[in-house]
């Protein structure tokens, strides 16, 4: 195997805080980021709660001219990337030959929605000349590249709710291969538009009153938004500049169910978990904590529990598991980035976040889900799961340094 890949910078903007410190403090405290959606939404919209970024004022972060060219998901990605780069202490010269890989499940839906309003409701016949570059799925990666001065590989990964984990694994592979020594990777999404909310509403998987993963009274997911960006470096590059290292990004596993577009496969998810362990050269018994995909839907939580049992065997009962989606919601293409950062910080601080809103285990959910209160514990190594519609699975492995 090539040299180690390490994590040296973290950046977030989430429903739990405008930066990583706020995000982590909220996770440890077990605070929910879900709130009632604005009252001015159309009356025919049945979903009324969501985990939106609170107290977000774009003008605190961008000039008016910049905002006109940045979809909300690009704004989030830029804010998270700025924090991650500053946290890592990287200069533009050190970033220049690196990579940027950003996952998104939705792309620029805010831009799309505004275009359709102008064309079909307002009957306008002309759009802004930069509408396409503002709303294209690769906009966030491009904007982060330009802001950071990165001239190496820059691209977007889109695999629904596994997008961020797939982006992180691609960055891991790029560094291992020697093509780059540093990468910014993560995910971003901003799904709170009328059209997208109506589409999710039609799926009948949204909870009307809160996300309760693995609990017997769970009734669906709560949408979230935001971005998470992580700085990855080869161990040699990090040590040469005396960087502070959070943890080792030691492996990733990917699989496809090749089955149903929405119904998850236990075997497919278990394959991704096992491949992550194999790639990281970790024995199942070395995993102390697992950040679950844990959406709070009937199908996912049972299937994921079975997948964990299938991949870990008897050790499944010894793993502390939580779904932080119970707090930050399901941020789609950004979810894996939130959860990877939560996992990294759990290792660093020796605290595993809880699964909040937990009543009692649901049928088929019989593992240790860290109910309602975070847990102090030593974490040697951990996994974070992301499973997406279309049967696209990506699992990342992190180890204490």
Catalytic machinery residues:
161, 293, 330
Q: Decide: 218 and 212 in contact? Cβ < 8 Å.
A: yes
Burial letters 170-205, b for 16+ CB under 10 A, else e: bbbbbbbeeebbbbbbbbbbbbbbeebbeebeeeeb
Using alpha carbons, list the distances in angstroms from residue 159 to 256, 272, 329.
11, 15, 18
Q: Decide: 10 and 82 in contact? Cβ < 8 Å.
A: no
Q: What is the largest CA-CA distance in the chain?
A: 63
Residues counted in the chain: 401
Q: Are strands 154-157 and 99-103 parallel, antiparallel or unpaired?
A: parallel
Nearest Cα to 232, choosing from 382, 344, 390?
344
37 by Cβ neighbours in 10 Å (0-12 / 13-18 / 19+) ranks as: middle
Return left, alpha or beta for 364; rule: phi > 0 is left, psi -120 to 50 is alpha, else beta.
Answer: left
């Amino acid at each position: 195997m090539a040299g180690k890949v390490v994590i040296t910078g973290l950046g977030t903007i989430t429903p739990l805080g405008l930066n990583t410190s706020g995000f982590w403090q909220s996770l440890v405290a077990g605070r929910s980021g879900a709130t009632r959606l604005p009252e001015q939404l159309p009356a025919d919209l049945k979903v009324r709660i969501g985990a939106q970024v609170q107290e977000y004022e774009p003008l605190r972060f961008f000039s008016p001219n910049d905002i006109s060219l940045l979809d909300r998901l690009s704004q989030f990605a830029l804010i998270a990337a700025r924090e991650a780069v500053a946290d890592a202490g990287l200069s533009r010269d050190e970033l220049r030959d690196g990579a940027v890989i950003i996952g998104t499940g939705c792309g620029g839906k805010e831009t799309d929605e505004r275009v359709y309003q102008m064309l079909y409701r307002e009957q306008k016949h002309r759009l802004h000349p930069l509408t396409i570059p503002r709303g294209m799925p690769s906009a966030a990666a491009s904007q982060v590249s330009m802001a950071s001065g990165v001239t190496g590989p820059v691209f977007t990964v889109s695999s629904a709710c596994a997008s961020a984990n797939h982006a992180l694994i691609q960055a891991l592979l790029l560094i291992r291969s020697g093509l780059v020594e540093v990468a910014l990777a993560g995910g971003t999404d901003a799904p709170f538009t009328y059209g997208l909310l109506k589409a999710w509403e039609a799926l009948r998987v949204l909870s009307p009153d809160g996300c309760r993963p693995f609990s017997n009274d769970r009734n669906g997911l709560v949408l979230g938004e935001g971005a998470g960006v992580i700085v990855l470096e080869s161990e040699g590059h990090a040590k040469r500049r005396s960087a502070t290292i959070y943890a080792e990004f030691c492996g990733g596993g990917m699989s496809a169910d090749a089955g149903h577009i929405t119904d998850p496969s236990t075997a497919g998810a278990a394959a991704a978990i096992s491949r992550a362990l194999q790639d990281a050269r970790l024995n199942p018994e070395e995993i102390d904590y697992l950040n679950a995909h844990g959406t709070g839907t009937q199908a996912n939580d049972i299937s994921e529990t079975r997948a964990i049992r299938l991949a870990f065997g008897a050790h499944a009962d010894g793993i502390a598991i939580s779904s932080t989606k119970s707090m930050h919601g399901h941020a789609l293409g950004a979810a894996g980035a939130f959860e990877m950062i939560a996992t990294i910080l759990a290792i660093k601080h020796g605290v595993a976040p809880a699964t909040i809103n937990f009543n009692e285990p649901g049928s088929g959910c019989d593992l240790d889900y860290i109910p309602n209160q975070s847990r102090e514990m030593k974490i040697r190594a951990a996994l974070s799961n992301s499973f997406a519609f279309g049967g696209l699975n990506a699992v990342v492995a992190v180890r204490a340094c």
